[in-house]
Structure 1
Amino acid sequence: MKSSSLGASTNESSSSQSTPIRGGTSQSSRTSESSRRRSSDPISWYLASIGREPLLTPAEEIELGNQVQAMMQLLEAAKPSYSDHEKKLLRIGKRSKQRMMKANLRLVVSVAKKYQGKGLELLDLIQEGSLGLERAVEKFDPTRGYKFSTYAFWWIRQSMTRAIACQSRTIRLPVHLSERLSAIRKVSLDLAHKLGAMPSRHEIAEAMDMPLDELDGLLRQALTTSSLDAPVNGDEGRSFLGDLIADSSEEEPLDRVERGLNHEQLDHWMNHLSEQERHVLQLRFGLEGRDRHTLAEIGRQLDVSRERVRQVELKALRKLRNLTRRLPSGI
């Protein structure tokens, strides 16, 4: 029976592929042509893909918005651990956030087209607008009664106009560097679409099969065109461009503290952090005899996303930077 079914399926498939469709073009050649268009014109493919995402009904906006708000309240509490019910709310909230973002990316494109020719390429405008959209999803309060698109439009437009203003005050980069940075932006946009959040440097480097130090070098060269305070993923607890680029002239706060202080003093500084922040840094930097772990590994242990682990890590490192600035210069 299986053999017969397989044979029938194979014959049917072969027949389907060889049967001409409109204009005499076969299914296989149309698929091949589609693949070529996708590889040669990623922007057009991206625009087409988001156009297939179904729009949300007003009822869905309210339901998803409430689920995102429940997630944000838990994340803002920064609890060291979550109950099973809270973990479920976090998972639901993450899916709801991704759904709201994907369903509204066409709004980002619509606004971006209005700002073309004002200093930023369409792809850059879309990326900036996506940051504004993410912020809108996180801040949207369904109980206020207004449509999400009305609320999101303001955040999207603000993100784009700020980026344009920043670009207008900057110098032009060499063509070869602009091309490489454009490739980084394209990969970043693709990852953001898949993850529902802006990717980390490690995720971008991995996707581009590029050493992290090479990626950091390219980003440093681009610093003249961006503010270090430009938000990469929102504000409190999120990362800024300056946070994503290591300063070679400055040691990581943990390196400086460990080098100059004994373990008792190190424990004293770590006590300024929350339990969750201490745990994340211990795993990330291999403190107290632990092995170093990746964001993904820590996320699996804590049952949270890699992005959430990165947010906790960055927040903890900011605290340590502030603390270690008070250390005597001889340490």
Structure 2
Amino acid sequence: MRAAVLTSPGRFELKDVPRPKAERDEVLVRIMRVGICGTDVHIFNGHYAAENLPMIPGHEFTGVIAELGEGVTGLSMEQPVVVDMNIGCGSCFWCRRNEILNCPEMQQMGITMDGAFAEYIAVPARLVIPAPSSVAAEVLALTEPLACVVRCARKADITFGQSVVVLGAGPIGNLHVQLLRTIGAAPIIVADLSEDRVQMALEAGADYGVTDPSVLEALVREKTDGRGADVVIESVGLPALYQQATRLIRKGGHIAAFGISGPEDTLDLNIVQTILEENSIKGSVAGMGQDMHDALTLLIHERIKTQLFTAASYRLEEIQEAFDTLSTRPEDLKTQIVI
């Protein structure tokens, strides 16, 4: 089969590699669409998982079942599916709590093992979620990134009438805004240095947008009766923004730590203030388990505006160009590879 192998940081090679087989309790998926994730960009640039190269990246994918392994029931050939990328042992303390990233045996498709920038991928049948054929493949490929956002909202316990600040209006920031609007959060304030992306976030459902960081805190206080936000979602991964988040939440507020920063980055936290004000920080990065099912349901019922996420696509043979030009195409909230 054809596969895009990241042989070294910044360099893809299109290769003929052995087509995987569906072993017992596995299915073989013929891949249709794969989204380029921010994590893929970090891997491409050599900032993350470089020790796993050469590797086939890609984990935001959809396809159809091409082979059923022994013991697989409840699935059928040519059935459209999406797949949970997170593989845990299935029986440990963390897997039982749907905290698979903490499983000692955890693997992730396209990050710690070969992924979906290829014609086929073999996956555990228990991680396969059937999808309706009436939903376009480019929309189904958004299930995994939306699941990450669903999990963040779940971990942060966001509900209707809560004020939320989203730091970062990139692809995931835009999905945060849309989900918050669906939940009923209000007001929703988004901040980003890009005027274009802030405008897209406003069109997606944000109530207020800010491009000047120096005025953000004043606006948040103004729109929350001087209290500060109930929740601040950091969706970029910059220590300075995490630090700013501590000044934007109200007493008793919550920081949703979502954006991945460097392994040595730290947060200067006033411990006594955190204790006395009963503030909290919760981390969340990947959707899994029920998050995937909920995300798919939202897409099926068109609760998310997907047009800006499906406009840009490249063929597998053009994957090098797709990655090389990402930074020059800020208007494309998502780029997908068509297999």
TM bin (shorter chain): under 0.3
Q: TM-score, normalised by structure 1?
A: 0.24
Greater fraction of residues in helix: 1
Q: Which has the larger radius of gyration?
A: 1
Greater fraction of residues in strand: 2
Q: Which has the higher contact order (CA 8 A, sep 6+)?
A: 2
Q: TM-score, normalised by structure 2?
A: 0.24
